[in-house]
Amino acid sequence: MNVKLGVGLGLRDRMIMNESNWAEIVFFILLILGFLFSLAAPSAVLSYLIIFVAGMMAGRLIYYRKESMAFPYVLIIIGFFIGYLIGSRYGNWLVLTILFVLGSILSYYLHEQGLVKDIKLWP
């Protein structure tokens, strides 16, 4: 039986998370979470603070995955960021982008220098 992936399967069978589509599903979930986080921010200052902290978390993920940095992790980070930009009511999108990138760079640098230590929960 020669059936291509997704052909002949019901919608429910195609929506189950497996090793080939987990990144897309997590991307979509974080896109929605980013959107909801941005809607919860009542001011531009709080929006800037949230995106900076999210950038720092992205920098941490990039640091711990630098040996095996695969595209799915970049896709997941971009998913949250795009969701946040879509839902952002306050603040400039360019400032949000700059703060996200600066937070990522700062967090990566702090982890690389050993100034920030945390419990490593994954290999």
pLDDT for res 68: 76
pTM: 0.78
pLDDT for res 21: 76
Cα(89)–Cα(41) distance, integer angstroms: 8
C-beta neighbour count of 122 within 10 angstroms: 5
Cα(24)–Cα(2) distance, integer angstroms: 25
Contact of 78 with 26, CB cutoff 8 Å: no
Residue 95 sits in which domain range? 24-113
Mean pLDDT, consecutive 10-residue stretches, the chain (123 aa), reads 50 62 86 92 91 93 79 88 91 93 94 80 61
Q: Is residue 17 part of a domain?
A: no
Cα(39)–Cα(66) distance, integer angstroms: 32
Number of domains observed in the structure of the chain: 1
Q: Is residue 37 part of a domain?
A: yes
Q: Is residue 96 part of a domain?
A: yes
